[in-house]
Amino acid sequence: MLSQQGRRWVDLSRVVYAQLGSALTRGVSTSSCLARAEPQPAEPYDLATPGFVPAAELPRSPGGWLRELGIVRSDWTREEITEVFETPLLDLIFHAAAAHRMHHDPQMVQRCTLLSIKTGGCPENCKYCAQSSSWSKEVGLKAERLMNNDDVYEAAVRAKESGSTRFCMGAAWRGPSQVGGRQWERVLDMVRRVRSLGMEVCTTLGMLTPEQARQLREAGLSAYNHNLDTSPEYYGQITTSRKYEDRLTTLEAVREAGISVCAGGIIGLGEGPSDRVGLIHQLATLPAHPESVPINALVAVAGTPLGKDGLEPPTGFDMARCIATARVVMPKSMVRLSAGRLSLTPSDQALCFMAGANSIFDGDKLLTTANNDRNEDLEMMDQLGLSSRPAFLPYVAGNTSTGEEHSPAAALAAAEAELAASTHQLAAVSSDSACCGSQGQHRCGCH
């Protein structure tokens, strides 16, 4: 735990770093950088100037992305993203860290929990997945029924007590249309009940119709996860039971319903570097960047087609490169270091946080595969000076509301309450205990 003095230095270094990063990446002198903490347009914008050509129509020069570091753009070309991706790793991480500090608190990492509410028996044939019925015999995983609502609620309570602020529920379905209305109603009830705990709620249930997305929003869903997995051209190697366009259609329904979009991919499916670029390009050129971009490392499960191939698992450097590229091209999104952390050392993960990762999954299980030990995660975070992100702290890429209780004012109030609680914890353990501002509600000595 950092002392108050330590926190002051961290805050100061963040300001200086953001300003220095802004200056270095735009070629301005350091003497003028103090006025440039916010991202600035690369060119003066003057429509009245004769011959003015809008920036979007100008041919982009190599390295142009550096002059626009931190600016949100949806007009990325694949060549530009290739250039970002191929930047020498330490330089790439340096630039990504600068972009990260322009928009995010680099000390704050969200801890999320992922629960499989309906395991196995999925009619889709994603080659990396242990839950597909296509190879259930080889994997040895039996299809289970939808979990009991009380059990899901209790799992969410335990997750909250352990410090998770986002609870994600996954069902091995092609989509809710595959199941009866009663099961669907139960899922909506799960969303309502978890939301009532004051947690952000995410689901990953397969393909959605616009009506199903609307119902989820009304139930209080914060975010919907639907990964693109890989590049459009490699997708056919990963699954044949649906098309890339189907994924994009669901993402559109989610966005239209006003639910926060969570879409990313998996590294280590046997794809090449150009597929990693293609995935990030696809995400970065959506009409709006996903608010969350999970970057997963394949967890190869014996019995699945990709478990048999003996593929090389992605290295920490591979993960850091993908995260840094995602951070540079989608600077405001939450880049989530997701599945596959067990194969990464704490030093690998530190590199990923430096490159711009904002969150991890907490708990010993991710759907059907093992996850990192919570105590080891907390120790790592402590060593790196990271703190847990409170629920409903507004996301810089947008924090889509669902209902009155999700209004921006309510979200801010909830975030302030969470922060006051964590301030209290800091004050209580600090030798120079400052007041927690709770006016006697806590035991920090401010009665």
Catalytically active residues are: 122, 126, 129, 168, 202, 262, 336
Token digits of residue 391: 């629920």
Q: Please identify, among the stretches 5-13, 129-137, 280-288, 397-405, the one whose residues bind ligand SF4 according to the rule CB under 6 A.
A: 129-137
**Does residue number 176 form part of the binding site for ligand SF4 (CB under 6 A)?**
no
**Residue 232 Cβ vs ligand SF4, minimum distance, rounded to whole Å:** 17
Residue 405 is classified by DSSP as G
Which listed residue (25, 110, 132, 203) binds ligand SF4 by CB under 6 A?
132
Which listed residue (84, 96, 129, 188) binds ligand SF4 by CB under 6 A?
129
Helix, strand, or coil here: 41?
Answer: coil
132 phi/psi in degrees, rounded to 5: -70, 135
**Residue 434 Cβ vs ligand SF4, minimum distance, rounded to whole Å:** 48
Cα–Cα distance, 244 to 242 (Å, whole number): 7
Q: Please identify, among the stretches 78-86, 121-129, 145-153, 339-347, the one whose residues bind ligand SF4 according to the rule CB under 6 A.
A: 121-129
Which listed residue (69, 81, 122, 202) binds ligand SF4 by CB under 6 A?
122
**Residue 143 Cβ vs ligand SF4, minimum distance, rounded to whole Å:** 11
Strands 365-366 and 369-370: antiparallel
Rounded to a whole number of angstroms, the CA Rg of the chain reads 22
**Residue 215 Cβ vs ligand SF4, minimum distance, rounded to whole Å:** 20
**Does residue number 172 form part of the binding site for ligand SF4 (CB under 6 A)?**
yes
**Does residue number 296 form part of the binding site for ligand SF4 (CB under 6 A)?**
no
**Does residue number 106 form part of the binding site for ligand SF4 (CB under 6 A)?**
no
**Residue 172 Cβ vs ligand SF4, minimum distance, rounded to whole Å:** 4
**Does residue number 175 form part of the binding site for ligand SF4 (CB under 6 A)?**
no
H helices present in 285-345, as ranges = 305-308, 316-329
Residue 74 is classified by DSSP as S
Cα–Cα distance, 126 to 140 (Å, whole number): 16
**Does residue number 131 form part of the binding site for ligand SF4 (CB under 6 A)?**
yes
Helix, strand, or coil here: 105?
Answer: coil
Cα–Cα distance, 260 to 244 (Å, whole number): 20
Cα separations (Å) of 36 from 21, 32, 114, 428? 10, 7, 40, 37
**Residue 250 Cβ vs ligand SF4, minimum distance, rounded to whole Å:** 11
Cα–Cα distance, 77 to 83 (Å, whole number): 10
Contact 288, 251 (CB under 8 A): no
**Does residue number 126 form part of the binding site for ligand SF4 (CB under 6 A)?**
yes
Cα–Cα distance, 353 to 351 (Å, whole number): 5
Cα–Cα distance, 119 to 136 (Å, whole number): 11
Which listed residue (68, 80, 124, 275) binds ligand SF4 by CB under 6 A?
124
**Does residue number 19 form part of the binding site for ligand SF4 (CB under 6 A)?**
no
CB-wise, 206 or 363, nearer to ligand SF4? 206
CB-wise, 368 or 430, nearer to ligand SF4? 368
Nearest-10 Cα torsion for 426, 432, 436, 439: 150
CB-wise, 266 or 320, nearer to ligand SF4? 266
**Residue 174 Cβ vs ligand SF4, minimum distance, rounded to whole Å:** 7
357 phi/psi in degrees, rounded to 5: -70, 135
How many chain residues touch ligand SF4 (CB under 6 A)?
8
Pattern 202-241, binding to ligand SF4, x per CB under 6 A?
----x-----------------------------------
Q: Which of 47, 45, 77 is nearest to 61 (CA)?
A: 77
Kindly list the residues in this chain that would bind ligand SF4 in the complex (CB under 6 A): 122, 124, 126, 129, 131-132, 172, 206
